Structure 1
Amino acid sequence: MVAAKRKRNAAPTAAAVPSPPPNGLTNPQENSEVIDAPNAYRASPDSDVDQRLAPGPIKSEAGSESPLSDVPDVEPPAKKRNTKKGAAKAGAAIKKEKEDAATETTPAKKTPVKKAAKDDMDDPEAEDEEEAGEEELSAALGRPPPINSDYLPLPWKGRLGYACLNTYLRYSTPPVFASRTCRIASILEHRHPLRDPNEPEHPTKNRPDREQPASIERGQKYVEALGVANARDVIKMLRWNDKYGIKFMRLSSEMFPFASHEEYGYKLAPFASEVLAEVGKVVAELGHRVTTHPGQFTQLGSPRKQVIDNALRDLAFHDEMLSLLKLPEQMDRDAVMILHLGGVFGDKVATLDRFRENYKALPQSVKNRLVLENDDVSWSVHELLPVCEELNIPMVLDYHHHNIIFDSEQLREGTADIMNLYPRIKATWDKKGIKQKMHYSEPTPAAITGRQRRKHNPRVATLPPCADDMDLMIEAKDKEQAVFELMKTFKLPGYNTFNDIIPHVRNDDNKVAMQASNKKKATPKKKGKKVKDEDEEMEDDEEGAVNGETAALVPEEEVGMGGPEGRVYWPPGMEDWLRPKKREVKPKAAPGSAKKVTPAQKRKALADAVALEAAVKEQHESDEDAAEAATPATKKAKEALKQRAAAARAKSDALQNATAPPAATAAAAPATTTKSAPKRKTPAPKVEKEKEEKVEVTPPTSDDAESELELNSSEEDVPVKAPKRPARAGARSSGRANKSKVSYQEADVSMDED
């Protein structure tokens, strides 16, 4: 058999198998190969199995992958709008399979595979949001309104629970969740030894070396380490639940990745015996209840032997996991496995007969835990209840599923009529001495058709008319937050133990303290780098004031527990509050817009302008008598000094008005013109003053002001342009003549001064 090939060696050599990977490699924040199992994010396992099963028999050779518990990369085929046509096609497929005896060896068609998108992970039920046809929509709108009971089970004495994942703990640092998994490619890669066996594995620096020989035991150690990390986090989740009054939880079926896989499956004992016993000890200590819910591929009514074999293997895995908890007798009896009957396969009677036959062949330990649940696709309460009474199987009533699939000839939609079946349903539990449980959820408000109503609302608004001591599983996307919502609405026990979280701030983990310590150890920045923007500095100061740069380390047992104030509740739709605040990227300024000017730059520009103006004024007063005898070079230097002063003043005015509103700048322009006239007492002509004042008021940048000043000075000062001699290109004087001329003029000036 193939199972013999998959059986692990009971006594592997110690030298060939290294120690398990360090804890850092089971943290998805540090290792991208560790991913979330998608079913943990669902409100409830999808029971629509007819169209999600592989279209042909599964290949049994090495390297094939069973659809039973593989990871989230499989894209389901598009759903058919006409359910009657779908049922007819399914019946035709069964008939063809019976007629063709050679189909057992036919290779299966490859299911299309896509990369898991982030949006799919955030909302795993998004596939049910396709638009409905006109006929389907009109039929749904014409259905009678539901008749609900007005009974509320208050005061509440039962236990409320959620399924698989705690949203608050999942975004803690480090994350706490019990559904880590990986891809099969990662298992195969970790069959090879590390590049440096003497160093611990690192996601980038020390990876497995594929050029070295592979070992199945080595890859098995890797996947086992993920399972152990998941089980240890269950302990944290249980203590978190107990702190906030939640005493009921569904364990994730992906706690041990690929444990029931056809090729890569494995037994949990002995490697997981100790950690699961620790989990069971905490469950017994706190008086909680734990259950499981195998997925949609686990069905005992399929006509295909391969699917039945997969289901038997998966049920055996769940039974072993619950048995290794070593719970007290009654708690162990209450640790049940919820199962959907599965698809119809074109004939409900034949499907029920196959289920009866396969159920009778199950091990007694699996029978003791198995319970059936009505689904939202095929099987109603009236169809399952007689089978449960016949085979001594407890039946879980799911109110949400019942409102979608029910026998309209015997009762109406809603919770009122189903209450008549409560005694019969409860009797199926009492007969086996198991504490009864029910499931409750609500459709989204916008749902109209049956397919649309299958999608669970993130939270529920009310309690069903169940017994006040019921173990009630709330199947909602917001998980523990949906339980909190009911606690707040009806003031149930535990409602005063939690408070709203502070958006984007977590004071119950060590992320802030670790960042502060890493900042101290960081290398200093380069001296030439400019200071941060003022807004960024304010944001950093606010963050430091909230978190504290010198925050003390939170004890390990208190990490993720909500702190002394119990800040673990986030309002509906505010899931983003669990994550760190995204850094806002400010848009770059347009090419023609003015740059932001700091106050220091304004002060410096103003001081430079004042200094240059003072220098020009002093130079004008000292050289007033010698202006007529000055050489062209001296005049040019003085004019350049004046231009620099004017440019500095223009730059200062432009910087001062850079951040002012346009209206204020326009209003200030006339005042600037009138005030600057009496202050500037220079011997230059009045026309020159007016031109300079124009430059002071209106230049967009300092460069433009300087270029305009140069143009103005060339128009008003003719002697400066004399050295260019554009009109006398032919008459060129010698250098000796020019030298003697300049020499005589300098001598005359010196004689006059004497």
Structure 2
Amino acid sequence: MHRIGFACMYRHPGHSESLKELEVIERAFNPRSTTLRWLNSVSQEAAREKLNGIIEHNLAAQLRLLEYVGTLPNELHMLRLSSDLLPFYSHPEASDFYRQTEVRDVIEKGFAQIGDRARALGIRLSLHPGQYCVLGSDKPQVVENSLAEFEYHADMIRMMGFGRQFQDFKCNVHIAGRLGVDGIRTVWPRLSQEARNCITFENEEKTYGVDDCLQLSDLAPVVLDIHHCWINEERYIDPHDLRVARIIDSWRGVRPAMHYSQPPESLIERGFSPKQKLEMPTLLQHVSKRDLYSHSKRMWNHWTNLYAREFLDRFDMMFEAKDKNLAALDYYTDYLADSVDA
């Protein structure tokens, strides 16, 4: 069975609620954060109280989000958790706070509950460290910070009861950094076993594409992002391209995960029809390539949706859209529900 999923945040359909009511509903499912500047501007006691409140809210919110996903059809049991559940966890200024026994007890219990609930509901989970996790940097301090950030994610995975075997959980990064593939190979031995079990490498739109990621397929699986690939190579990768078979092989028998997004709906205003195949040479006569990087709200282009569906016999697919769960629900209803019922 294929799965499609969404990333990190819940969006409410909002058919009758006011904007204020919508904010209250969504706040219960989505993480909160704060700034290091604010924490440094108040007393240590106030800062710790704030962090404790945020952590308790965030762990409860992720459980609510899991319960929501559990109500969806099985084909939608896929979710990327937020990276912001434990603010500043990898920052040196917060290390003493997170070493406190009472704090460790709260977060270990909370993540254990999240892991147990995900397994009970059959939800495939993942994480995706942000753009500042640059393991292939040529700057030593950036590498140290990036290792700490990735191991923060590995700690969350470990506390959820994952990371015990190859790809029981996906934690995805871009190669990134001037040293690229060579830099990744250099830092690889420094990653924990849980990190190595869960890490995946995703192609990106500018520098490190599919071919670069495949150079690391002996270490970890490749996550194919078909939107990034389209921008990077200026053409759609054929679903049966030989490289797709190599990507599948990199997962070593685990069902592969891939990413899917579309360029913004503003292209409609430029005269591009939702039913039209988006050809890069024509697009670049009207917009810059950078205009194509950002994600759409929903999966608005019908041709691309049919193209993406050609991968679902072999891949699970993470949707990266601004309207999050609503985009995945729309796609399921419009492109998958009939075939599932049949």
User: TM-score, length-normalised on structure 1?
Assistant: 0.38
Q: Which residue number in structure 2 is paired with residue 255 of structure 1?
A: 85
Q: Which residue number in structure 2 is paired with residue 614 of structure 1?
A: none
Aligned CA distance change for structure 1 residues 353 and 415 (closer, same or farther; 3 Å): closer
Q: Secondary structure at the match of 1:282?
A: helix
**Kindly, what percent of the aligned residue pairs are identical?**
26
Q: Which residue number in structure 1 is paired with residue 295 of structure 2?
A: 456
Separation in structure 1 between the aligned mates of residue 145 and residue 163 of structure 2, nearest angstrom = 30
Amino acid at match of 2:194: S
Q: Who wins on radius of gyration, i.e. which is larger?
A: 1
Q: Which residue number in structure 2 is paired with residue 244 of structure 1?
A: 72
Q: Which residue number in structure 2 is paired with residue 354 of structure 1?
A: 183
Aligned CA distance change for structure 1 residues 493 and 177 (closer, same or farther; 3 Å): farther
2:164–2:197 CA contact under 8 A, matched in 1: no
Q: Which residue number in structure 2 is paired with residue 397 of structure 1?
A: 224
Amino acid at match of 2:81: L
Separation in structure 1 between the aligned mates of residue 338 and residue 52 of structure 2, nearest angstrom = 38
1:120-141 per-position Cα deviation (integer Å, ceiling 9, x unaligned)? xxxxxxxxxxxxxxxxxxxxxx
Residue 416 (1) aligns with residue 238 (2): yes
1:150-173 per-position Cα deviation (integer Å, ceiling 9, x unaligned)? xxxxxxx31110000011187344
Residue 315 (1) aligns with residue 150 (2): yes
Q: Which residue number in structure 1 is paired with residue 316 of structure 2?
A: 471
Residue 230 (1) aligns with residue 58 (2): yes
Aligned CA distance change for structure 1 residues 228 and 419 (closer, same or farther; 3 Å): farther
Deviation at 1:230, TM superposition (A): 0.6
> Bigger shift: 377-386 or 351-360?
351-360
Deviation at 1:334, TM superposition (A): 2.6
Aligned length: 301
2:162–2:168 CA contact under 8 A, matched in 1: no
Aligned CA distance change for structure 1 residues 221 and 316 (closer, same or farther; 3 Å): farther
Map 1:615-634 to 2 at 5 A.
none
1:301–1:342 CA contact under 8 A, matched in 2: yes
List gaps (5 residues or longer) in structure 2.
14-21, 268-282
1:378-423 per-position Cα deviation (integer Å, ceiling 9, x unaligned)? 111112212223xx211000000000113xxxxx711327632121
Q: Which residue number in structure 2 is paired with residue 335 of structure 1?
A: 169
Q: Which residue number in structure 1 is paired with residue 105 of structure 2?
A: 270
Which of 426, 433, 437 lines up with 2:257 in the alignment?
437
Amino acid at match of 2:155: E
Separation in structure 2 between the aligned mates of residue 366 and residue 236 of structure 1, nearest angstrom = 26
Deviation at 1:452, TM superposition (A): 1.1
1:597-653 per-position Cα deviation (integer Å, ceiling 9, x unaligned)? xxxxxxxxxxxxxxxxxxxxxxxxxxxxxxxxxxxxxxxxxxxxxxxxxxxxxxxxx
Aligned CA distance change for structure 1 residues 382 and 491 (closer, same or farther; 3 Å): closer
Aligned CA distance change for structure 1 residues 387 and 329 (closer, same or farther; 3 Å): closer
Instruction: From the two aligned structures, give the one with the greater strand fraction.
Output: 2
User: TM-score, length-normalised on structure 2?
Assistant: 0.80
Instruction: From the two aligned structures, give the one with the greater helix fraction.
Output: 2
Aligned CA distance change for structure 1 residues 159 and 189 (closer, same or farther; 3 Å): same
Aligned CA distance change for structure 1 residues 306 and 387 (closer, same or farther; 3 Å): same
Aligned CA distance change for structure 1 residues 281 and 304 (closer, same or farther; 3 Å): same
Aligned CA distance change for structure 1 residues 163 and 173 (closer, same or farther; 3 Å): closer
Separation in structure 2 between the aligned mates of residue 290 and residue 229 of structure 1, nearest angstrom = 20
If asked which structure has higher relative contact order (CA below 8 Å, sep 6+), I would say 2
Deviation at 1:187, TM superposition (A): 2.2
Amino acid at match of 2:174: H
RMSD of aligned C-alpha atoms?
A: 2.6
Separation in structure 2 between the aligned mates of residue 271 and residue 494 of structure 1, nearest angstrom = 43
Which of 155, 163, 179 lines up with 2:31 in the alignment?
179
Aligned CA distance change for structure 1 residues 235 and 495 (closer, same or farther; 3 Å): farther
2:163–2:197 CA contact under 8 A, matched in 1: no
Which of 379, 382, 399 lines up with 2:208 in the alignment?
379
1:333-368 per-position Cα deviation (integer Å, ceiling 9, x unaligned)? 43121001113x3xxxx4432221112222222111
List gaps (5 residues or longer) in structure 1.
1-156, 192-213, 407-411, 497-754
Separation in structure 2 between the aligned mates of residue 161 and residue 242 of structure 1, nearest angstrom = 12
Deviation at 1:495, TM superposition (A): 9.6
1:487–1:495 CA contact under 8 A, matched in 2: no
1:284–1:328 CA contact under 8 A, matched in 2: no
Separation in structure 2 between the aligned mates of residue 224 and residue 384 of structure 1, nearest angstrom = 39
Separation in structure 2 between the aligned mates of residue 234 and residue 296 of structure 1, nearest angstrom = 22
Separation in structure 2 between the aligned mates of residue 455 and residue 328 of structure 1, nearest angstrom = 31
Q: Secondary structure at the match of 1:444?
A: coil
Amino acid at match of 2:231: I
> Bigger shift: 298-307 or 254-263?
254-263
Deviation at 1:275, TM superposition (A): 1.3
2:10–2:26 CA contact under 8 A, matched in 1: no
Deviation at 1:494, TM superposition (A): 11
